[in-house]
Amino acid sequence: MVLRSVQREWCFPENNSQWKTILQVIIIVTFSLVTMLLVVNADDVGYAERRDDGIFCTLQQNAGIVTSVSLMVNGQSAVSAGKRLVAMENRVDVGLHVNLTEGTPTAPSHQVPTLLEGGYFLGKMGFRTALREGKISLDQVRQEIAAQFEKFHRLLGYHPHHADGHQHIHVLPGVRDVFASELHKHSVHWTRLPIEPHITHACWVSTARRQFYQQITDDARQSLAVFASHGIASTRHFVGMATMGADMLVSRIVSEIRQVSRDPQCTSTPSATIASHEVPCAAAVSPPVRTGESQQESVSPSSSSCTVELMVHPGYALMAGEGGCGQGPDDFAQSADRDHEVSVLCDAELRRQLCDDLQVQLVRWSQLSVTQATMADADPVAAAT
Torsion from C-alpha of 133, 136, 138, 139, nearest 10 degrees: 140
Q: Name the amino acid, one letter, at 88.
A: M
Domain that holds residue 90: 33-384
* Residue 4 belongs to a domain: no
**CATH number for 374:** 3.20.20.370
Average pLDDT, the chain: 81
Q: How many domains does the chain fold into?
A: 1
- Does residue 98 surpass a pLDDT of 60? yes
- Whether residue 11 is contained in a domain is answered as no
Question: pLDDT value at position 336?
Answer: 81
The model's pLDDT over 191-246, given as tens digits with 9 standing for 90+, comes to 999 999 889 889 999 999 999 999 999 999 999 999 999 999 999 999 999 999 99
1: in domain? no
**CB count, 10 Å around CB of 58?**
24
17, part of any domain: no
Structural domain contains residue 105: yes
Express each pLDDT in 176-191 by its tens digit: 999 999 999 999 999 9
**What's the 3-state SS for 134-201?**
CCCCHHHHHHHHHHHHHHHHHHHCCCCCCEEEHHHHHHCCCHHHHHHHHHHHCCCCEECCCCCCCHHH
- Active site members: 43
pLDDT at 295: 37
In a domain, 148, yes or no: yes
Within a domain: 13: no
In this predicted model, what pLDDT tens digit does every residue of 284-333 receive, in sequence order? 333 333 333 333 333 332 245 789 999 999 998 765 554 455 555 566 65
pLDDT grade, residue 28 (50/70/90)?
A: very low
Residue 375 lies in a domain: yes
Query: What's residue 2's pLDDT?
Result: 40
